[in-house]
Every structure is written in C-alpha cells, then in structure tokens.
Amino acid sequence: MSSGDFRGVLYGGAAVAVSSGDLRDNGRECGSDNMKRILSDGLVSENTPTKKNKSMVHRHTPEQIQQLEAFFKECPHPDENQRMELCRRLSLEGRQVKFWFQNRRTLMKTQLERKENELLRQENERLRIENRALHAAARSPVCWSCGGPAELKEPLWLENDRLREDLRRYSGTLAGRQPPHTAASSLETSMLVELALSAMDELVKKAQAEEPLWVRGGAGEEAALNEDEYRRAFPQSLRSRPARLVTAASKATEMVMITSSTLIDGLMDANRWPEIFPNVVARSSTAHVISAGIGGTRSGILQLMTAELQVLSPLVPLRELSFLRFCKELSHGVWAVVDVSVGTVGEDPSSPHSPLVYQWLPSGCVVEDMANGCSKVAREYYESAVHPLYRLLLRSGMALGAHRWVAALQRHCNSRAALSSSAVLSGGDSPGKSPLRFLAAGKREMLKLAGRMTENFCGGVSASPARGWRKLRAENLGEDVRVVIRRAMAVPGELSDAVICAAASVWLAAPPQHLLDLLMRGEWRILSDGGPVQEAATIATGRRRENTVSLLRAGPGCAANGTTLILREVSTDVSSSLVVHAPLEAAAADLVVNGGDSSGVALLPSGFVVTSDGSAAVGAPASKTGGSLLTVAFQILANGLSDTNTLAVDSVETVNSLISRTLGKIEAALHCCEC
C-alpha cells in the first residue's frame, strides 16, 4: 500500500501521554521557575552557590537584562566575538554572558514543551469525549423515522426497506425501480468500510498477480482464474452461496485513449457510467454516499450503488446488482476502483421463477496514465436461469467478463476521439445525387445522433424498466420472441407515439466475423426492401474498418427514394458487434450535416447483435465451434392497442413478419455462401 492509503480509525479510550523532560504542574514547583531566577543572576562558577560564597553572586541590572533580551531576539546563538562585545558593553564577564544565553534558550524550550503538552492533553480529552459518545450511540441506536429507540431486528429492516421503495415509486421522482435509501448506522458504516478496504486490497493483489493465480490461454490473450489458488490466497472472500451457482472470472489489460482522471470521474458518476459502457450497463444509481473522498479528491470515495447489467439478447434477463464502489489513488497517476456486492438482489434463487442472481466478489480496474489494467473477477450467476444458447457464452466470460468491459471502454474512447476530431469528411458519389459534404460541426452532431440511436436500440433489446420498457403478452408469437412497449414520451428527441420493440435470438453455424461481413455487404438489401443501397457519407469511428457511422441512400426502385435516408452505425470489438440503423428524413439529415442541433431528431432504431457462442473458449464439441449468436430487434410504432397488455392483430403480424423474413434472408445468404 502507498502513502495515500485510506484507513478507517477508531480512537480508543487510552490517554495520549506525551512528555519531554521532568515537568511538573498543578501548582508544584517546575524547573523553569528556578531557571527564571538563574537568568536574573550572574554566575561566577559552575557550582551551586552556598552560604560561604553567596556574597559572590552578582545580579544583573535591569539595563543589562534589557540589552541581553534585545540581543537574544536578534541572535539566540551569539558567537565568541559577539559575546566579547556584549561583555565590554555591559561590563560582564564572558562566562556570565555565555551562561545567560544558555539558560535563556533552555527556558524558552521548556515553555514551548509545556504549551505543547497542554495542547496534547486537550486533544486527548476531546477524543475521549468523542469516543464515549460513539460507544453510547452504538449501545442505544435511534430510529431515524421517529427519533425513538430502534429495535435492530431483521424483519423491521426489511419492512423499512419496502416502505422506502414504495415511497420512491409513488413519488415519481426517480424513473424505474430504485433502491431504498437507508441511513447507515455507525456499526453498518464500519462494516462497509472494512469490506471496501478488504476488497481494494484483494483487487490490487489480483491485478498484480500472474501465475499460478491467473492461467493464460493458448494464444496468450485470455487469463483465467485458478479457482483452487484463489481459494487458498483469498479465503476471506469465500462465503456461503445458494446451490448451483457457478463462478466466472477473467482478467484483461488494454491501452485506451483517455486520461486516468477522466476515466475515474466517469466510473464514479452513476449517470456517466452507463454512457461509457452502453452495451453492458442498462441502468445505474447511487443509493448512499458513505465517504465523499479525502481532501476534495476522488481518492477515498465510497458509495453504495445499484445497477442493471445486460447481455443484448431477449433470452438473457437483466442482472440486478447492489454493490459498494470504492475509489483510491494508489500512487501519482495510478488509480484503482473496486466493486463488491453487499447483498443479493432478487428472490430466493432456489425458485425457478426468481430473477437472475448475480453477485460481484472484489472486481474492478487499476488505471494509470497511458495504460489501463482491468480485472473483472468472480462473477456469480444462477446457471439454471440462463437460456441454454447463452450458457457457454456466460461461462466463458465473454458476455460480462474482463474482455467485455475493456472492449467496451476501448470502443467508448475511440468514439470520443472521433467526436473531438475536427476533420471534415465528404460522402461518396451516387448516381444522380451530389455527395453529402460535412461541416466539422455536422460531423460531431452526426456522431452524437448515432450514439443516441445505438443507446435506444440497446435499451429496447434489454427491455430495461428504467428506460420505460414493459413486457407485453401477445398470441401467435414465437417462443423465443419477446415484445415490449414504451409509452409515448414528451421529451425532445423521442417519438410522440408508443413504440413496440420485438427481439429474437438464434444460433447460426457461421463465425461472427463472417456473419458481420454478410450484414454489411451490399448484396444483402433488406434495409431498402430489396433495392440497392448506396453510401452517401461515412465517418470512421475506430481502428477497425467496420467501425463506422454512415448515411445510406436508397437507390432507384425504392419507395423512400429521395425522401428518406438510413443512418447506420457499425461497431465491433473482440466481444461483440452491433449493426444498428434507423430511417432519417432528408430534411433532418440536411439539418444535422450542416451542424444543426441533433437532440430534437427522433429515431426508430432496429438492428443486429453478433456474438460468439462461447464454445471455442470453453472447449465445446467441435460441431459447434465457430458458431455465432445473432440477435435481431425491430422497433415499430404501436398501432391499435386494445389494452395495456395485448397487441392488436396487425401489430403481431408485423413484428412476426419482420423477424421471420429477416432471419430467413440471413440464413439463405449463409447457405449461398457455403455453396
């Protein structure tokens, strides 16, 4: 640990005894009293005066003492020449002057030590009083609601939590489900601080460790946790857990284009954290700030948070978490942020209908300028609640493991770099159409609009209640098709009508990169009902050629030719790929291209999510190795809602037709490629 370690301190009742020399007080004689007498006397010998030589003691005159005091203020340590000058001026002997200065310095030192001791005694008494008050408060807890004595029984805590949650939901001040805001007692705070410090220590050790704790894969890129070594090295982290819980752990390191301070600010802000990881974090909030940091910095911040993590598929439920997040500066420019669960969100995990149980053992990242070491360790989830298609992916750590978080961070940093670039881009030529020419401001607005489109798409796929989505029951839908609805929102940039989102996931016998290339190729023209599609403009958003934001123009023969363009964003990394698109009116496109405000442009996004099936990472049978998981999602305007839970027949047919037709075209295209 560095000198900047954050430590919780409990002052005990022991007295602080600080002394220097043999000092006495309470009216008793102190050595300084004799010293004052000596200073006014002239010493002629080193021996203490007796009755015999008492007549030889000479007292200094007031004038001599005044001049000696004045010289002492200017020079407490006179040299030999200065002492001789004083002897001649004051008619004193050299030994008298020498001893006077020695005694005067001793007296001053004694007085300073006495004053310091008095201050220390006062501080010690203050700490005693504070310590007694803390012990009294711990013995007699007070109810935060009525001010009376509290009964520390678990049923009362649970009832209090339920009432607070109802109050938040009915007041409507926060969207979605929010955690109860409990004011932690002194005992609870001490336990949380101890848990955070222990988690931080474990995270730093795991981030620095290599083999045998971390076992590298064959390619040298994956680092898997040796669970036996982990149990031996960190026995304090092991705790009882429900049966059939499985553990996934991974570690990854990557260079990202962001400063450590900017990244730490984003991680500690519950509103900005989902913006950095939009494909992973559906929602987050801060329930309680336990510590606001040390000296006005981020170091030492400890807060209780809740979050919903998502895998972009209707087959994988949201993961709800309640956890501590602790930030600490390890050294100059080196930071660590650790997360550790403080409880299980959801019902009894033994119930087949309970929400997905998901817990964090000490996990997080170590960040330093020009390098980012990230370690997301020991995720726990209830395997029986996971759809079989996604079981291998989750177990491999590619869905929510370290590589997933690092890849999402890398994608965010690349987008920030493209957003801040001042380069002016122009689109390619299209037959009969002039190319779109971007102003620098237009490029930034186009990237912001594409980012909002992708965020809305991810919210629809994960169906997070925090974003207003609610599941609907509808007949004649496929078993693996999920339909959700979001009511009309009177917010700039959102549609004024209700929106329906339908999503489905399938396994395809094709590698992820091959499937992504197929979705991007011009031969596949589902976006324009079979007509040709041409790129009117393209903006690169990353190092890989696929990472782009494009404006597509429908060619001749399309119904929307000349009136509607298609905004498309493709983003890919080692963990997943997204192809998201939305229709964009020509007038709105001109506004954005010319640098107009894009916040008022409403979008209806649809698209695809491509991930590996995880079989290669966990050594699955060779027949499935190299397969992909494809999620297809469409958003349409809701027409003819008969009630709040049932869709009209035409809407059911529309979403079924869109999904089945799209999947059919993709499977046919894959079959043609194999032939």
What does DSSP say about strands 223-225 and 334-343: parallel, antiparallel, or unpaired?
unpaired
The class (CATH top level) of 439-674 is alpha beta
Could you read off the pLDDT of 268-309 as tens digits, one per residue? 999 999 988 888 998 899 998 988 888 778 888 999 999 999
* Residue 542 in this model has a pLDDT that exceeds 70: yes
Torsion of CA 428, 434, 439, 445, to 10 degrees: -80
The H or E element spanning position 252 is: strand 245-254
Say what the pLDDT of residue 647 is. 56
Q: Model pTM?
A: 0.64
What secondary structure, in 3-state letters, does 544-602 show?
CCCCEEEEEEECCCCCCCCCEEEEEEEEECCCEEEEEEEEEEHHHHHHHHCCCCCCCCC
Rounded Cα distance, 636 and 495, in Å? 11
Chain centroid offset of residue 329 CA: 14
- Lowest average pLDDT, out of 312-316, 341-345, 497-501, goes to 341-345
Q: Which of 123-127, 184-188, 393-397, 542-546 has the highest mean pLDDT?
A: 123-127
HSE-CB for 66 with a 13 A CA cutoff:
3
Say what the pLDDT of residue 201 is. 86
The answer to whether the beta carbons of residues 610 and 630 sit under 8 Å apart is yes
* Residue 596 in this model has a pLDDT that exceeds 80: yes
The class (CATH top level) of 31-126 is mainly alpha
Q: Which of 67-81, 231-245, 346-360 has the highest mean pLDDT?
A: 67-81
* Residue 177 in this model has a pLDDT that exceeds 90: no
Say what the pLDDT of residue 190 is. 80
Could you read off the pLDDT of 493-503 as tens digits, one per residue? 777 778 888 89
For residues 75-104, average pLDDT: 88
The answer to whether the beta carbons of residues 409 and 256 sit under 8 Å apart is yes
For residues 90-106, average pLDDT: 89
Which has the closest alpha carbon to 506: 384, 671, 633? Answer: 633
Chain centroid offset of residue 234 CA: 23
φ and ψ at residue 490, rounded to 5 degrees: -85, 65
Residue 258 in 3-state DSSP?
coil
Say what the pLDDT of residue 518 is. 85
Confidence of residue 599 (pLDDT cuts 50, 70, 90): confident
What does DSSP say about strands 214-216 and 58-59: parallel, antiparallel, or unpaired?
unpaired
Could you read off the pLDDT of 438-481 as tens digits, one per residue? 667 788 888 889 988 998 899 889 887 777 788 877 666 667 78
Residue 440 in 3-state DSSP?
helix
CATH 3.30.530.20 corresponds to the domain 185-413: yes
Say what the pLDDT of residue 496 is. 73
Joined together, the tokens standing for residue 665 give 């075209």
The 10 Å CB-count burial string (b at 16+, else e) for 3-35 is ebebeeeeeeeeeeeeeeeeeeeeeeebebeeb
